Amino acid sequence: MEKKLSSKYIHMYMSISRVFIRLTGNVLKLFPFAMVICPVVWFYLCPEHIISDIVNDWQDADTLEKILLVKLYLKTVLILTVVSVVVLYLSSDKFMRC
């Protein structure tokens, strides 16, 4: 009985690990695409005065502030990519069958 329960937990752990690895792989595949598409869509939809403020801040910033802005951009794109992959997974048939 105890051996049967432990194999059940191992099977559950392996299936959760497979899903996590699949989602991580999808995030890594979409991340370069999102690095290009996110700013394009954002600049298209963003009001002009906000874009001009960002450009002025970039020109007035020193190196440390520019590095912080680039890190903020990369974190934002990564979060958007992870959210999109998770939403796609949750709306897929693979999730509904579990």
Could you tell me how far CA 85 lies from the centroid of its own chain?
7
For residue 1, the model assigns a pLDDT of 47
User: In total, how many domains does the chain have?
Assistant: 1
Confidence at 71, pLDDT banded by 50, 70, 90? very high
This model's pTM is above 0.75: no
Domain of 36, in residue numbers: 2-97
Answer yes or no: are the C-beta atoms of 35 and 28 closer than 8 Å.
no
d(CA 90, CA 77): 20
Chain segment 6-58, per-residue pLDDT in tens? 777 888 888 888 888 999 999 999 999 999 998 888 889 989 999 899 889 88
Instruction: Classify each residue of 29-59 as buried b or exposed e, where b means 16 or more C-beta atoms within 10 Å of its C-beta.
Output: ebbeebeeeeeeeeeeeeeeeeeeeeeeeee
